[in-house]
Amino acid sequence: MAIIGYARVSTTHQKLDTQLSAFDNYGVDYVYKEYDSGRKKNRPVLEEMLKHLTSGDTLVILKLDRLARGTQHLLKLLDFFETNDINFVSIDNHIDTSTPMGKLVFTIMGAFAEMEASLIRERVVAGIEVARQNGVQLGRPTKTDNIERALYLYEHTDQEISQIADECEITPPTLYRHLAKRSMALRR
């Protein structure tokens, strides 16, 4: 049951002194130090630390922004800690998941993040619906020239659908869909 610290600064020109001092005062056994932007997805020291944490360990950070890229990333990490029975402490944010109050704060954070994700989903769906109503075609742009050529080949040659689709760089289902739109009879 180790007490592990994770300290991060965005560049090698910045110092970890404030974080390390807080960890000394807290009684941290070992500190993982990362010198990289928090916005990057690939943070090797963070990944290494997560692999070494075990049940009963406590992870200590100075501030939430030292650990996670954003709310969703933080919640994934907190879920990982809870699932693996790892306590989490953010010194400056006064969060300690080993206490009832810390667990409450954690639960509230999770609820807010879930609500945020739901609101984003609702806005995206509403935006897509408005775009559709305004005649905006969603998805990949159609290859009009390719489709016209494919329809011409279908009408004027004996080539198979798959051959025409390959030659015109479209998929067979696309060709079938356009044949149906134009009420063109399918060959047997």
Would you name the residues annotated as active-site residues?
10
d(CA 108, CA 53): 24
Q: How far is CA 105 from CA 5, 10, 109, in A?
A: 20, 27, 6
CA distances to 21, 57, 80, 124, 130 from 86, rounded to whole Å, are 23, 5, 8, 35, 45
Residue with tokens 């390959």: 166
Alpha-carbon distance 100 to 102, whole Å?
Answer: 5
